[in-house]
Structures are given as structure tokens and as C-alpha cells.
């Protein structure tokens, strides 16, 4: 049986001069993309959000008042060593990305985070109240016909 040696990644502030943060990271930034979406305001808007979450590896989060669709999928050019396979020709968004506020430290949390359509349904009910015919009580049943 092989022995697994776990190397603890250094803290950001403990990196030596010239050492690169990315040398110690599993490229979290290359395992998803997030796109801003319109702020949902109605039941219909939230129902669209439920639809997003019916798809595999999708979630929705908010950060500083902005809503995002998050798709958990690795870049097709991410190599096994967590390096970029097209580094010299990578897209501008990758070039602009900085490690100054990246997720290396594992301390990041979202303001709101939805992973399932059921979570959105609960949020809809909490925000807007029960939908038509969805309250705690059932609606009054129709009267039975009088047989005469």
C-alpha cells in the first residue's frame, strides 16, 4: 500500500519572495465560471432560477447585491498539474484575473447560495408567502352534491 504524503499549503503571507501562489493551489478559479444574472424580483424570475438548478453542476449565489449563475465545470485546457495548457494564448478574462482576492485561502462565503430547486422554492415561499393553493391549510373542498 502506497503512503500518501500530504503537504500543507503555505499561507499566503508565508510565501517567500519570488514564490508564486498558484504553485500551491489546485486552480479553483479554473473549475467554474460565474455569470451575473438579472436580480430576481418576482415568482416567475425565481422560477427561472429553479430551472437553472435543475441542470447538473449549476448553482446560484449573491455577492454584494449581485446575483450570479455559477457553473461548476473545469476549463478544458486545465492540465493535470493545475497549469494552463494555453497560457500564452489564454483569454483576456484569465489574463486580468489576480490572486489578490482569489479563493486560495478557503475562507470565502457567499451572501446567499442556492444549490437545489427545492432551496429556491423555500426561499420563494419565505419571501412571497405561499402560492395559490399552497398554504399550510388546504383550500375548502367543494360541497358534495345533494342527492334527492
User: 27 in a domain, yes or no?
Assistant: yes
Task: Say if residue 60 is exposed, middle or buried (CB neighbours under 10 Å; 0-12, 13-18, 19+).
Answer: buried
pLDDT band for position 32 (50/70/90)? very high
User: 9 in a domain, yes or no?
Assistant: no
Answer whether 0.85 is exceeded by the pTM.
Answer: no
Q: Mind listing the pLDDT tens digit for each residue in 104-129?
A: 887 778 999 999 999 999 999 999 88
Q: What is the arithmetic mean of pLDDT over 46-74? A: 96
**Separation CA 114–CA 78 (nearest Å):** 26
Q: Mind listing the pLDDT tens digit for each residue in 72-87?
A: 999 999 999 999 999 9
User: 13 in a domain, yes or no?
Assistant: no
User: 39 in a domain, yes or no?
Assistant: yes
User: 82 in a domain, yes or no?
Assistant: yes
Q: What is the pLDDT of residue 21?
A: 87
User: 142 in a domain, yes or no?
Assistant: no
Q: What is the pLDDT of residue 87?
A: 95
pLDDT band for position 62 (50/70/90)? very high
Mean pLDDT of the residues in the chain: 88
Looking at the predicted structure, is the pLDDT value of residue 148 above 90? Answer: no
Q: Measure Cα distances from 58 to 28, 77, 114, 117 in Å.
A: 16, 20, 9, 10
Find the domain containing 75 and state its range: 19-128
Residue 123 contacts residue 129 (beta carbons within 8 Å): no
When divided into structural domains, the chain yields a total of 1
User: 78 in a domain, yes or no?
Assistant: yes
User: 134 in a domain, yes or no?
Assistant: no
The CA-based angle 87-94-84, given to 5 degrees, is: 30
Amino acid at each position: 500500500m502506497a503512503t500518501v504524503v500530504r503537504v500543507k499549503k503555505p499561507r499566503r503571507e508565508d510565501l517567500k519572495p519570488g514564490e508564486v501562489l498558484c504553485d500551491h493551489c489546485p486552480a479553483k478559479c479554473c473549475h467554474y465560471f460565474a455569470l451575473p444574472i438579472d436580480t430576481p424580483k418576482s415568482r416567475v424570475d425565481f422560477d427561472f432560477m429553479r430551472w437553472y438548478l435543475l441542470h447538473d453542476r449549476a448553482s446560484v449565489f449573491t455577492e454584494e447585491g449581485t446575483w450570479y449563475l455559477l457553473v461548476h465545470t473545469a476549463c478544458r485546457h486545465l492540465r493535470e498539474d493545475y497549469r494552463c495548457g494555453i497560457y500564452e494564448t489564454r483569454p483576456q478574462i484569465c489574463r486580468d484575473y489576480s490572486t489578490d482576492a482569489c479563493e486560495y485561502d478557503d475562507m470565502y462565503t457567499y451572501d446567499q447560495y442556492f444549490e437545489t430547486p427545492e432551496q429556491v422554492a423555500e426561499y420563494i415561499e419565505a419571501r412571497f408567502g405561499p402560492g395559490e393553493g399552497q398554504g399550510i391549510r388546504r383550500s375548502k373542498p367543494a360541497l358534495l352534491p345533494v342527492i334527492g
